[in-house]
């Protein structure tokens, strides 16, 4: 069973739909025991960093997420779910993230001719091709919606980057923890392959 963590953040249903398309048994839940007994866990999300962390703490999910990671269950953060895995965000100064990975979330710099939020299709480059990207061609296009981006402290965990006003760390992998700034569930066949790769880990 794949547990999708429910903390009132948007985009949960589209992730569920993509997983069902892949023939997976899926459960949207915030129940500690259901999350801990899952074969894989996904933290999706669209929204504000500070509000999301408030909800994660309110629902008692902070420790549960750490337990999932510590017991080596494959874990995937998507969009805001990626950002929450890190230490802090420019979006809500003073609010601590989950701190599972080292790095910070910065606002995309203003640049003439570029709109923020960054919304649309961008190609990926692979500094090292992680397990999520097996079977994909070079420079595949995926769908982004975000105003803030990851700058990981550990370059070696970065598996995909893209350029939009600055260099964006678009995906990371460390042990059993995977995360994407883009939305695989909205990225057509490429995204489905990425989710299939996660399912098969």
DSSP line for 43-62: E---S-HHHHHHHHHHTTHH
For residue 9, is pLDDT > 90?
no
My answer on whether omega of the bond before 117 falls inside 30° of 0, hence cis, is yes
Q: What is the CATH number of the domain that holds 7?
A: 3.40.50.880
CB 151 within 8 A of CB 111: no
Q: Is residue 183 annotated as a catalytic residue, yes or no?
A: yes
Nearest of 90, 107, 89 to residue 98 by alpha carbon: 89
pLDDT digit string, tens, across residues 37-81: 999 999 998 889 999 999 999 999 999 999 999 999 999 999 999
The count of structural domains within the chain is 1
Mean pLDDT computed over 23-43: 97
Q: How far apart are the first and last CA of the chain?
A: 13
Q: Is residue 16 annotated as a catalytic residue, yes or no?
A: no
Active-site entry in 118, 146, 169, 183: 183
Residue 72 burial (C-beta neighbours within 10 Å; 0-12, 13-18, 19+):
exposed
Separation between Cα atoms, residue 195 and residue 201, nearest integer Å = 10
Active-site entry in 37, 70, 79, 96: 79
Mean pLDDT computed over 129-141: 96
| Mean pLDDT for the chain overall | 96
Active-site entry in 155, 169, 185, 200: 185
Residue 70 burial (C-beta neighbours within 10 Å; 0-12, 13-18, 19+):
exposed
CB 6 within 8 A of CB 30: yes
Q: Is residue 37 annotated as a catalytic residue, yes or no?
A: no
What range does the domain containing 161 cover? Answer: 2-199
pTM: 0.97
DSSP class of residue 134 equals: T
Number of CB atoms found within 10 A of residue 154's CB:
11
């Amino acid at each position: 069973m794949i547990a999708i963590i429910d903390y009132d953040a948007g985009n949960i249903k589209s992730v569920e739909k993509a997983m069902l398309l892949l023939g997976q048994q899926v459960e949207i839940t915030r129940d500690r025991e259901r999350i801990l007994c899952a074969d894989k866990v996904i933290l999706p999300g669209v929204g504000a960093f500070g509000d999301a962390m408030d909800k994660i703490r309110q629902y008692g999910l902070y420790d549960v997420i750490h337990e999932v990671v510590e017991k080596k269950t494959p874990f995937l953060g998507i969009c805001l779910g990626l950002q929450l895995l890190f230490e802090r965000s420019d979006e809500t100064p003073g609010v601590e993230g989950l701190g599972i990975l080292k790095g910070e979330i910065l606002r995309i710099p203003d640049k003439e001719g570029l709109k923020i939020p960054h919304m649309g299709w961008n190609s990926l480059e692979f500094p090292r091709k992680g397990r999520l990207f097996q079977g994909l061609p070079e420079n595949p296009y995926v769908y982004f919606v975000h105003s803030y981006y990851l700058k990981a402290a550990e370059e070696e965990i970065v598996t995909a980057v893209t350029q939009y006003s600055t260099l964006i760390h678009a995906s990371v992998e460390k042990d059993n923890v995977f995360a994407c700034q883009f939305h695989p569930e909205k990225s057509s066949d490429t995204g489905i392959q990425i989710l299939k790769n996660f399912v098969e880990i």
